[in-house]
Amino acid sequence: MARNLDASTENDPQHGSARPQSTPLPVGISPATIGDVETAENDDPSAEVLSPAPQSASALPAHLEALADRAREYVEAASSPNTRRAYDSDWKHFGAWCRRQGLDQQPPDPQIVGLYITACASGAATSNRKPAAVSSIERRLSALSWHYRQLGERLDRGDRHIATVLDGIRNTHGRPPVQKEAVLPEDLIAMLETLDRGSLRGLRDRAILLLGFAGGLRRSEVVGLDIADEQTEDGRGWIEILERGMVLTLRGKNGWREVEIGRGSSDSTCPVAALETWLKLGRIAHGPLFRRVTGGGKKVGPERLRDQEVARLVKRTAVAAGVRGDLSEGERQGKFSGHSLRAGLASSAEVDERYVQKQLGHASAEMTRRYQRRRDRFRVNLTKAAGL
């Protein structure tokens, strides 16, 4: 089963490693992750592990090095930046736990992984003794499987040491998913009123909130938009403004899709009008749609806005507008995120469910119903329909 960690694999106290540093870097591992210490949610801040060491220059013929670099870029593009960050953090968390227990991180050992997820579920894997949620444990397993595949190895998740333990964790600690609060139209209007219409930042944030809501967009989809096609390497889609509205072309994990956003009944709440104002006054004609505003709010920079800024914007304006004023400010901070805009459209659009499903890009109606926060609750009363 487990082998004791050879002391020769230990590096300096700042960067301990749970595997020999001579292991080559496969094509699937991004060089950007090497030596980047990062911890996942609820992780022990003192736990750090290096990613696999870089591949030696002699491992490939010189004329293939450029192709190998390009292959790494394609592998990186196969998943979203958020997923890669979470997977890298989970891999380092597992390596740090192995190192503390005197165990090897490689090759994959189902019994060690089973003990690791047990430690996560019981809180023994972190210094604060806080148990990880079942969803976090499942994600960590996915991260381990992914990283082992990139190393040319296979983690057997069907092995009894993993599968049976995971079933027990689900039965013991499983809870309904915690969903973010939906931002409804009246909430959104109140949130818009907290923004400064006389500043570039206020105009930008106004366009972000209206576009994210009307499009039912993820925060990564909002900030990934460009003015037009093939303008940036990191763009995830582009816009086309038409007379009756605009069309967004988005690239997701399941391919391309189009999202139609019609003009609103009033310019004050129209996402198309808000975007046109932002583009005109921000003097944006090429490249990323939403960018950082610098110089005391008077200058639009070239850098694309990060998706975390969308979540912060929703939280900040929801609190400022007094949305869910029955809760404390701290509780409200945890209730809202970028997904609140997406859930708000699904919960408030009084149209056939298939149109909402198409707008959100869901493969199944069941997934769309998860976003419709209580919209259809008690619309059909089976108690009365049964004669009671």
Per-residue pLDDT tens over the stretch 261-286:
999 989 899 999 999 999 999 999 99
> Among the three residues 136, 152, 173, which one is the final residue of a domain in this structure?
173
> Among the three residues 124, 150, 173, which one is the final residue of a domain in this structure?
173
Q: Which CATH number covers residue 34?
A: 1.10.150.130
pLDDT at residue 370 greater than cutoff 60: yes
Percent of the chain with pLDDT over 90: 47
If asked whether residues 148 and 192 sit together in one domain, one would say: no
If asked whether residues 106 and 133 sit together in one domain, one would say: yes
If asked whether residues 217 and 272 sit together in one domain, one would say: yes
- For the record, the structure tokens of 370 come out as 């998860």
If asked whether residues 137 and 51 sit together in one domain, one would say: yes
Residue 21 placed within a domain: yes
Arithmetic mean of pLDDT over the chain = 81
pLDDT at residue 175 greater than cutoff 90: no
pLDDT at residue 314 greater than cutoff 50: yes
For residue 204, give the amino acid letter: R
CB of 270 closer than 8 Å to CB of 261? no
Q: What is the pLDDT of residue 365?
A: 76
* Mean pLDDT score, 258-262: 92
- For the record, the structure tokens of 292 come out as 């950082």
* Mean pLDDT score, 174-185: 83
Q: What is the pLDDT of residue 195?
A: 94
If asked whether residues 233 and 280 sit together in one domain, one would say: yes
If asked whether residues 197 and 293 sit together in one domain, one would say: yes
> Among the three residues 140, 173, 206, which one is the final residue of a domain in this structure?
173
If asked whether residues 49 and 99 sit together in one domain, one would say: yes
Residue 346 placed within a domain: yes
Per-residue pLDDT tens over the stretch 15-50:
333 333 333 344 444 433 333 333 333 334 333 333
If asked whether residues 208 and 162 sit together in one domain, one would say: no
Residue 180 placed within a domain: no
Residue 295 placed within a domain: yes
Range of the domain at 338: 185-371
If asked whether residues 120 and 215 sit together in one domain, one would say: no
Total number of domains constituting the chain: 2
Residue 378 placed within a domain: no
Residue 383 placed within a domain: no
If asked whether residues 192 and 326 sit together in one domain, one would say: yes
Residue 260 placed within a domain: yes
What is d(CA 108, CA 1) in angstroms, rounded to the nearest whole number? 10
If asked whether residues 231 and 298 sit together in one domain, one would say: yes
Q: What is the pLDDT of residue 375?
A: 59
Residue 74 placed within a domain: yes
Sheet holding 255-262, edge to edge: 225-226, 237-241, 245-252, 255-262
Per-residue pLDDT tens over the stretch 102-130:
999 999 999 999 999 999 999 988 888 88
If asked whether residues 92 and 210 sit together in one domain, one would say: no
Per-residue pLDDT tens over the stretch 217-232:
999 999 999 999 989 8
pLDDT band, residue 12 (cuts 50/70/90) = very low
Q: Which CATH number covers residue 348?
A: 1.10.443.10
